[in-house]
Amino acid sequence: MNLFMKSVFFAAAVVAAPMLAAAPAQAVPLVTYTWTTTSQGFGPHLSQPTSASFQAPLSDVLAGEILQFDISNIQLAYPGLTFDSYVASSIGFDFGIFVDPVTGNLIFHDNDQGLAVIGQDTSDPNFSTFLSITVGNPVGGVVKDQFNALDHGSPAAGFPTAGFWTASLPAGGGVPEPASWALMITGLAAVGAIVRRRRAASAIA
Q: Do 10 and 82 sit in the same domain of this protein?
A: no
Q: Above 50 in pLDDT, residue 96? A: yes
| Dist CA 152 CA 138 (whole Å) | 28
**Per-residue pLDDT tens over the stretch 118-152:** 999 999 999 899 999 999 999 888 999 999 999 99
| Dist CA 100 CA 165 (whole Å) | 13
Q: Do 47 and 133 sit in the same domain of this protein?
A: yes
**Per-residue pLDDT tens over the stretch 5-55:** 444 344 444 444 444 444 455 689 999 999 999 988 877 777 889 999 999
Bridge partners of 17, per DSSP, are none
Instruction: Answer whether 55's CB lies under 8 Å from 30's CB.
Output: yes
Q: Do 66 and 152 sit in the same domain of this protein?
A: yes
Q: Do 108 and 122 sit in the same domain of this protein?
A: yes
User: What pLDDT does 14 receive?
Assistant: 43
| Dist CA 179 CA 120 (whole Å) | 45
Q: Do 84 and 9 sit in the same domain of this protein?
A: no
Q: Do 51 and 87 sit in the same domain of this protein?
A: yes
> 3-class secondary structure for 50-92?
CEEEEEEEHHHHHHCEEEHHHCEEEEEEECCECCCEEEEEECC
Q: Do 16 and 59 sit in the same domain of this protein?
A: no
Q: Do 106 and 131 sit in the same domain of this protein?
A: yes
Counting every residue, how long is the chain?
205
Domain interval for residue 63: 30-168
Q: Do 143 and 81 sit in the same domain of this protein?
A: yes
Going 71 to 73 to 78 to 84, the CA torsion angle's sign is positive
| Dist CA 41 CA 51 (whole Å) | 17
Structural domains in the chain (count) = 2
Going 177 to 182 to 185 to 188, the CA torsion angle's sign is negative
Going 102 to 104 to 106 to 110, the CA torsion angle's sign is positive
User: What pLDDT does 201 receive?
Assistant: 59
Q: Do 96 and 177 sit in the same domain of this protein?
A: no
User: What pLDDT does 133 receive?
Assistant: 96
Neighbours of 170 (CB within 10 A): 14
Q: Do 140 and 55 sit in the same domain of this protein?
A: yes
Q: Do 125 and 64 sit in the same domain of this protein?
A: yes
